[in-house]
Amino acid sequence: MCGIVGIISHKPVAGEIYDSLVHLQHRGQDAAGIMTYNKRMHKQKGLGYVRDIFNEDNMSLLTGNIGIGHTRYPTHGGFSHGEIQPFWTEIPYGVGLAHNGNLVNYQELAMEIQEKEKRYLNTQSDTEVLLHLFTNSLGKQRPPASPDEFFEHICEAAQAVFKRASGSFSVVAMIVGKGLVAFRDPHGIRPLVKGVRQNRDGTTDYIFSSETTMFYALNYEKARDVQPGEVIFVSDTGKAYSRILKDAEFTPCIFEYVYFSRPDTIMNDVSVYRARLRMGQNLALQWQKQHPGVLPDIVIPSPATANTAALSLAHELGVRYSEGLYKNPFIARTFIMPGQRERQKSVRYKLVPQELEIRGKKVMIVDDSIVRGNTSREIVKMVRDFGAREVYFVSACPPVRFPCFYGVDMPTKSELIAANKTLEEIRQFMNVDILLYQEIDGLVEAVTRKGQHHIDRPCLACLDGWYVTGDVDQEKMETIETQRINDRNGR
């Protein structure tokens, strides 16, 4: 999971791209990069948080009214400086590109590009493969006579990507002397939103981003989501073009609503905050059905993603909501840390139980999900250490039983507790009195109940094992899992 942003404006964009990446920091804390264009390409990138990478000196070098940015949470490729996006190539025109998602056929495409097309790939990143597919097709077109004709060339290049790439990909790209491009995979698995800003002189600025979180701060208004299979081009003269190139079942990732996205985001015309409120409502109904007459004394969230669901669950049960776990805001999100040792180490640094809220009480802990189970187990231990009489644990997400190959770091079944243990075994492992997972139907209903979203069905691959691209079999799964393990080990 990553965060991407592209802006084409009538004023310098570097500062706004920086601000956008700060708003997208929750989507990737491993690395970040910014690329702008003003007579030539300018780029700055580094490992770590956005605030630690960019400063007054290097930001001053990022001149130009068009640019793209990226915050990285690696699910594919290595962890070196060379893997940091945006990527760029000088042929044709000069193209910079940033990508959120994951290609399930990366290895086949990389082999084909290197062995059959005799091209050199400098990284292990699937973003470089996407860049090659796009620019290779674009470079075969005749010189365009107008922006209208160039848009036709862009459509052909995006179509080449849609034809050969399988998986999830939301893309922003800038082309020297031409403009800004955005496109989204035909299933719309990863998000991408378009915003506009009307200037006093009648001109229009455009932003494309993974989320709407920065729109208000930068005075943009949400225009709409980039549609699945759609390509949008904004020329350097400010004219906007769009076309849907491929129609497929619309299956956006449901984990965006469970965990990744900020609650103030409107994604696929669904409020993430309201979706999480409904998750809590449905959990309460499920609890009352399965455990009638059993009520906790307090409901506390595992902060902060679960706060919204816990708030509505407590309201439905008629139980006091309490922030019984204080979160240190300066510790990174544990789920997206690169290793289990780092995740476990950070839990006690990040969360501190409030004894007066816990001691002697029946405590219900609400979390957004249980993936590996170790963080949840550590939270339960802390609550018990601070004197809880009984501990119930409920998850707003159903059991995660399958790896995700569309951009979420769930790489091997061996790491997923629900893929290897029964419900009772998980309860014992976590040392809780009652364990409750949201049902799949309840989660889907919570996300799709409201909004003009046109979602055919959310992508539930990590929950039910159905991979929408249709090309993930056991052999493919083992191949990708091996590659992911090798990436982690630096091989």
Angle of helix 307-317 relative to helix 272-290, nearest 10 degrees, comes to 40
Structure-block tokens of residue 377: 């187990």
Residue type, 328: N
**What's the whole-model pTM score?**
0.93
pLDDT tens digit at each of 491 positions of the chain: 799 999 999 999 999 999 999 999 999 999 999 999 998 999 999 999 999 999 999 999 999 999 999 999 866 555 677 789 999 999 999 999 999 999 999 999 999 999 988 888 998 899 999 999 999 999 998 888 899 999 999 999 999 999 999 999 999 999 999 999 999 999 999 999 999 999 999 999 999 999 999 999 999 999 999 999 999 999 999 999 999 999 999 999 999 999 999 999 999 999 999 999 999 999 999 999 999 999 999 999 999 899 999 999 999 999 999 999 998 877 755 555 555 555 555 687 889 999 999 999 999 999 999 999 999 999 999 999 999 999 999 999 999 999 999 988 776 888 899 999 999 999 999 999 999 999 999 999 999 998 788 999 999 999 999 999 999 988 888 888 877 777 666 64
Domain boundaries, the chain: 3-249, 270-455
Equal CATH topology for 3-249 and 270-455: no
**Which residues are 6's β-sheet partners?**
68, 208
CA distance 125 to 102: 9
Which position among 2, 404, 459, 462 bears the catalytic label?
A: 2
Look up 2 and say whether it is catalytic: yes
Is CATH 3.40.50.2020 what the domain over 270-455 is classified as, yes or no? Answer: yes
CATH architecture observed for domain 3-249: 4-Layer Sandwich (3.60)
